Amino acid sequence: MGTLKGMSMEWTGDTLILIDQRYIPVEELYVECKTFEEAAVGIKDMIVRGAPAIGATAGFGYTLGSFQFETLTKKDYMDKMKEVKEVLAATRPTAVNLFWALDRMEKKMNDVIKNNDLKEVSKILEKEALLIAEEDIKINKEMGKNGAELLKDGDTVLTHCNAGALATVDYGTALGVIRAAIESGKNIKVYADETRPYLQGARLTVWELMQDNIDTTLISDNMAGWVMKQGKINAVIVGADRIAANGDTANKIGTYSVSILAKKHGIPMYIAAPLSTIDLNTPTGEEIPIEERSHNEVRFCHKSKMVLDNVKVFNPAFDVTPNELITAIITEKGVVKPPFKENLRKLFED
């Protein structure tokens, strides 16, 4: 029985505890998941969100499923674990880390089931889920060090959505780069886009960065262009939900607009993401499934309704930034520059 504690989640050995990201920063509440169904709700309802955090939750969710069914026959257990994978996989479509983690867990189960009793299989799966979560923190720190080289002392970074400790197990991807640059002695300031409609920037990024005493200024999304024009931004750093084989990157809705603004103002546009977010099986951004979420996210500004009930709404949760607008992709294995198709593939060959 192992344990793990990060900013977004804690594993106690039989329970996954998620910080409830729907209520930050107003309230700090925690949700306990003791079954795979509860872990699936945690992802679907965005109690936990952010690609790497979703992946780690799926790993623990799969483990909880194994605990639930370890007293069945091996045949019935295998049938149930298929269902566990399907339920977890059906929660959110865009972040590839979800499918990556579930495939890894299923492969481990298939590798060990023949020579172990089911209680032993559960223990092995728990270890694998812990490994995914522990690796995530290590990877973010490596990525942070690699990305920190791209920032100069005195730089101000614009970020969109929340790609921080809350979106991972801990430390963060885009915010990990900022943390690492500051830890290396550089003075770095941050502008955080509020990130309508769900306000991950305003609610989560600001909360996280202010806890670390990082100089943070909140702007609404439509201010980004003007702030760039005034010379206040030296680099844009965002995370990713899925990077296609050619470098096209799905991330939180609004990232595409920010990338066009960055190009117009000659500001480098960096994506910080682990290899588990790179999907070589998806050739281009065209094939990335884009989740459409509840229209109430747009009708309401957090909890206040602002519009007529019968207004038509479109709420794509992500957009795709084409590779030509991306300066570099920061990974745990180094900083990848164009041509992305060749250079991303090389990352997996080494």
Ligand X SMILES: CSC[C@@H](O)[C@@H](O)C(=O)COP(=O)(O)O
Q: Using the rule CB under 6 A, is 169 a contact of ligand X?
A: no
Residue 64 vs 161, nearer CB to ligand X: 161
Catalytic residue among 136, 193, 221, 241: 241
Closest by Cα among 202, 283, 298 to 248: 283
- What are residue 217's DSSP bridge partners? 191
Residue 71 vs 294, nearer CB to ligand X: 294
Residue 173 vs 282, nearer CB to ligand X: 173
Shortest Cβ distance from residue 221 to ligand X (Å)?
A: 14
Q: Is 49 within any annotated ligand binding site? A: yes
Considering only the stretches 107-115, 233-241, 302-310, 327-335, report the one whose residues sit in contact with ligand X under the rule CB under 6 A: 233-241
Chain length of the chain: 350
**Continuous H helices in the chain:** 36-44, 51-69, 74-89, 96-112, 118-148, 174-183, 200, 206-211, 224-229, 255-264, 296-299, 340-349
Q: What is the footprint of ligand X within residues 305-324 (CB under 6 A)?
A: 317
Considering only the stretches 24-32, 77-85, 161-169, 319-327, report the one whose residues sit in contact with ligand X under the rule CB under 6 A: 161-169
Q: Is 222 within any annotated ligand binding site? A: no
CB 49 within 8 A of CB 10: no
CA distance 3 to 213: 28
**Continuous H helices in 184-235:** 200, 206-211, 224-229
- Name the residue type at position 317: A
Using CB under 6 A, which of 39, 51, 109, 228 touches ligand X?
A: 51
Number of residues that bind ligand X (CB under 6 A): 18
Q: Is 319 one of the annotated active-site residues of the chain?
A: no
Q: Using the rule CB under 6 A, is 16 a contact of ligand X?
A: no
Q: Using the rule CB under 6 A, is 59 a contact of ligand X?
A: no
Q: Is 230 within any annotated ligand binding site? A: no
DSSP code of residue 203:
I
Per-residue binder mask for ligand X (CB under 6 A), 196-225, x = binder = ----x-------------------------
| Other CB atoms within 10 A of residue 345 CB | 12
Closest by Cα among 280, 273, 270 to 348: 280
Using CB under 6 A, which of 47, 64, 121, 163 touches ligand X?
A: 163
Q: Using the rule CB under 6 A, is 245 a contact of ligand X?
A: no
CA distance 209 to 178: 10
CA distance 238 to 252: 9
Q: Using the rule CB under 6 A, is 236 a contact of ligand X?
A: no
Residue numbers annotated as active site: 241
The residue ranges that bind ligand X (CB under 6 A) are: 49-52, 95, 161, 163, 167-168, 173, 200, 238-241, 251-252, 317
